[in-house]
Amino acid sequence: MYSDDYKSCEETIVTLRIFYDAQPPDYLSDFLKLTPSRTQVKGQELSKRSRCTSNGWFLSSAEAVDSRDARRHIDYLLDQILPVKDKIEELQKGSAQIDITCYWVSKTCNGGPTLSKQQLRKLADLGVDFWFDFYCSDEAN
């Protein structure tokens, strides 16, 4: 059972990240038949002091899911990418670096997200690393 007002969470977003220098980001959009949330091109200026070190293609739940329950965000992402699992595997066999990250901000600097056993199975079957990027809310400090 999901809790869209997940009490210990201030904000959460889940993102598929693909770093692939062999082709430009538009190639990945065409290949996967998915529209990314954003892209980056190797050498693109990020700030006056830094540039992108590789091509990047990112699909995020940020604009698509209105919930503080990470499970909703994970479901959204899995619904988008499981139909193209074979293409993800093909990219992994090449030189693409692929992972999924869950950005999670704690309201209280305690607690954390929940994943269901069904999600864990799907993520394992997808064969990409999944990692958490945890933060404490400024209000909690």
C-alpha pair distances (Å), 67 with each of 21, 64, 104, 138 = 33, 10, 12, 20
Q: Tell me the per-residue pLDDT of 91-137, one tens digit each, with 9 for 90 and over.
A: 999 999 999 999 999 998 888 899 999 999 999 999 999 999 999 98
User: What is the reported pLDDT for 72?
Assistant: 97
User: What is the reported pLDDT for 140?
Assistant: 59
76 near 87, Cβ under 8 Å? no
User: What is the reported pLDDT for 141?
Assistant: 59
Please report, as a single letter, which amino acid is at residue 2. Y
Q: Tell me the per-residue pLDDT of 15-69, one tens digit each, with 9 for 90 and over.
A: 999 999 999 999 999 999 999 999 988 877 878 888 888 899 999 999 999 999 9
Looking at per-residue pLDDT, the higher value among 75 and 47 belongs to 75
User: What is the reported pLDDT for 44?
Assistant: 79
Average pLDDT over residues 83-88: 97
